[in-house]
Amino acid sequence: MTPSWLWAVFTVIAAFAQTLRNAMQRELTGSLGTVGATHVRFLFGLPFVLVFFAGVLLATGTEVPRPGPVFWPWVIDGAFAQVAATALMLAAMGERSFVVTIAYIKTEPVQVAIFGLLFLGDAVTWPMMTAIVIATVGVVIMSTKSFSALVGKRDDNRPSIAGGIRPTLLGLAAGGMFALSAIGFRGAILSLGLPNYVAAATFTLAVGIAMQAVALSLYLALRDRPVLTAIMRAWKPSLFAGLMGAVASQFWFLAFALATAASVRTLALVEVLFAQIIARVAFGQRTSAREAVGMGLVICGVALLIWAY
pLDDT confidence bin for 49, thresholds 50/70/90: very high
CA distance 79 to 59: 27
**Is this structure's pTM higher than 0.75?**
yes
CA distances from 136 to 7, 101, 105, 279, 294 (A): 20, 14, 10, 21, 9
> What average pLDDT does the segment 73-84 reach?
93
| Residue 257 pLDDT > 90 | yes
Q: What is the pLDDT of residue 41?
A: 83
Give 149-194 pLDDT, tens digit per residue: 444 554 445 444 444 566 667 778 888 998 999 999 999 999 999 9
Give 121-142 pLDDT, tens digit per residue: 888 888 888 988 888 888 777 7
Q: What is the pLDDT of residue 232?
A: 87
pLDDT over 70 percentage in the chain: 81
pLDDT confidence bin for 93, thresholds 50/70/90: low
CA distance 138 to 146: 14
Q: At 182, which helix (H) or strand (E)?
A: helix 165-192
Q: What is the pLDDT of residue 159?
A: 45
CA distances from 279 to 90, 127, 204 (A): 22, 32, 34
Q: What is the pLDDT of residue 164?
A: 52
